[in-house]
Structure 1
């Protein structure tokens, strides 16, 4: 997969909303039990149970979204020893109130591991500033949340009986990527391309983001990934499509990024 690292598309205003979204995601992650134990989010059974309970409470569960009710039993955060010496998480009736529609919002700021968090924040950092610059702060925030909600509920409709919590900002950020592809398809993006080792290349945004979308659609159809995969690729596809559609009416008024000015090198004065 191509990894973008920088786009040649300067913004006119400081992207305070994008910075705030990144900051909130990082703070919530640092307060997630067990999530910071390792880059992959692994840890002791007790830490994993606490993290599972946290994600169950603040994540968006498709079955809860469709039926608008909580399950009878949820993880409590305590590890127990089960039959055959297997360690599991103690289940009990939920001791908290939870609004399924509101859980889509809270789930956008919960991540399960450092890799999950940093991958999402990288894409938001690179592409979010220009979409915020084009939409303005308030409309950009509403756009971001709308894409996240569309991705969350869209995924729930496709998997109405799933009990696996949906977490992460991927759906909302996918909307940002879709809008960027529509508004700035020819902008050059410095990217790392895997070929024996990572090679830095300057590619057009339509190639970088188009490839990303094709891969997400390919994976969401079940190709190239195992059935045990936990990534909600369909949510990425839905968020991307919604973001692209919302950006179409804005395209005629979008100015191309300014051309880089040539650097003049002056010789020494004698």
Structure 2
């Protein structure tokens, strides 16, 4: 129904959000490597490095003996199923990541992003204890970025491509755009629980982002944009 295009929210504390762009570059590079693999090797990579609940819980042995079970709570976030999966996540990270990196600083933002990935994976695991399929994708970590954004900059304008009669760009407050996004996750969690989408990872990542933003933001960055 809508696609975010960019936001109107300049960065103020860092000269360049290089961690955000580095995460985008690494994630894209990993997918390019995946994409160049034969189909069987592509599938094997998702099994080896995706987060499989029964493997993390040690019900089933790790497919790669040298990889600790807990490591896939992070590695899964750098894998994607296809180009659309990758590009959607990277678009959201590009739009919202720079301001959260600005609000936290480079190192704290890197910790924040990886911690959100872990929290999202644990949320998925909690509600899918016996799942034997791999969770992959940066959606949970990016949802954390979105959670932090709505807490820190709810009134920032986000330009979205809205499909009303014809697609047109509309500026809307981040609170409305991201609030609508989280409501759709809650709706589909109950309306389409068997869909191949990790709804709990999205919700867990979003909640984790809100909580971590409180602890990791700079002191001079006020909540709710100062309003």
1:122 counterpart residue number:
91
Please give the alpha-carbon distance, in whole angstroms, between the structure 2 residues aligned to 1:33 and 1:16.
Answer: 25
Tell me which residue corresponds to 1:4: 4
Change (3 A) 1:179 1:129: same
In structure 1, which of residues 213, 218, 225 is the aligned counterpart of residue 187 of structure 2? 218
Q: Which runs of 5+ in 2 are unaligned?
A: none
| C-alpha displacement of 1:68 | 6.1
Q: Does 1:183 align with 2:174?
A: no
Aligned to 1:254: 221
**How far, CA to CA, are the matches of 2:218 and 2:147 in structure 1?**
12
Match of 1:111 among 49, 66, 80: 80
1:231 and 2:197 aligned:
yes
How many corresponding residue pairs? 221
Structure 2 SS opposite 1:4: strand
TM-score, structure 1 as length reference: 0.76
Structure 2 distance, partners of 1:108, 1:11, is 26
Alpha-carbon contact 2:189-2:200 (below 8 Å) kept: yes
By how many angstroms is 1:97 displaced? 3.2
Deviation at 1:247, TM superposition (A): 2.2
**CA RMSD for the aligned pairs?**
2.1
Query: Whose RCO is larger (CA < 8 A, sep 6+)?
Result: 2
Structure 1 residue runs without a partner (length 5+)? 36-46, 72-93, 258-270
- Per mean C-alpha deviation after superposition, the further-off stretch among 96-105 and 112-121 is 96-105
1:69-84 residue pairs with structure 2 within 5 A? 69-70=60-61
The alpha carbon displacement at 1:218 in A equals: 1.4
Q: 1:63 to 1:197 in 2, by over 3 A?
A: farther
1:34 shift after superposition: 5.6
8 Å contact from structure 1 (residues 66, 157) kept in 2: no
Aligned residue for 1:65? 56
